[in-house]
Amino acid sequence: MDKSKKSINDLYKVYMVECSDKSIYTGIAKDIDRRLEQHSKGIGSKYVRTRLPISLQWSSESMDLSQALKMEHRIKSWSKHKKEQWINVDHLDGYER
């Protein structure tokens, strides 16, 4: 089986990283550590590639792909200020920093 293919049964996390220019990038990944390593090597997002280094600021609980994409879309619509508030507040059960 091709591991790069997305399966309806796979679990994902939404994450936010702070870039070197203090911007906040939001993404989803099955394995956040692996994804952060890819970002750090300049693989993947063109946005992050030009703003290294990055640091993980927040990640969600695991969820299915549909939920993760919806949450990512919602967070990406937020202002930087709202993202910073979300990162710095004690979250509802199920979310981790």
Q: What are the pLDDT digits (tens) for 29-70?
A: 999 999 999 999 999 899 999 999 999 999 999 999 999 999
Instruction: Residue 11: name the closest of 53, 59, 79, 51 by CA.
Output: 59
Residue 9 has a pLDDT of 78
Does 4 map to a domain? Answer: no
Does 94 map to a domain? Answer: no
Residue 97 has a pLDDT of 44
Does 19 map to a domain? Answer: yes
Does 87 map to a domain? Answer: no
68: containing domain: 13-80
Domain count, the chain: 1
Does 1 map to a domain? Answer: no
Q: DSSP per residue over 19-73, as a string?
A: -TTS-EEEEEESSHHHHHHHHHTT-S-HHHHTT---EEEEE---B-HHHHHHHHH
Does 89 map to a domain? Answer: no
Residue 44 has a pLDDT of 83
**Cα 73 from chain centre:** 11
Strands of the 24-29 sheet, one edge to the other:
24-29, 13-18, 55-59
The larger pLDDT score, comparing residue 82 to residue 6, is at 82
Q: What is the mean pLDDT of residues 65-94?
A: 88
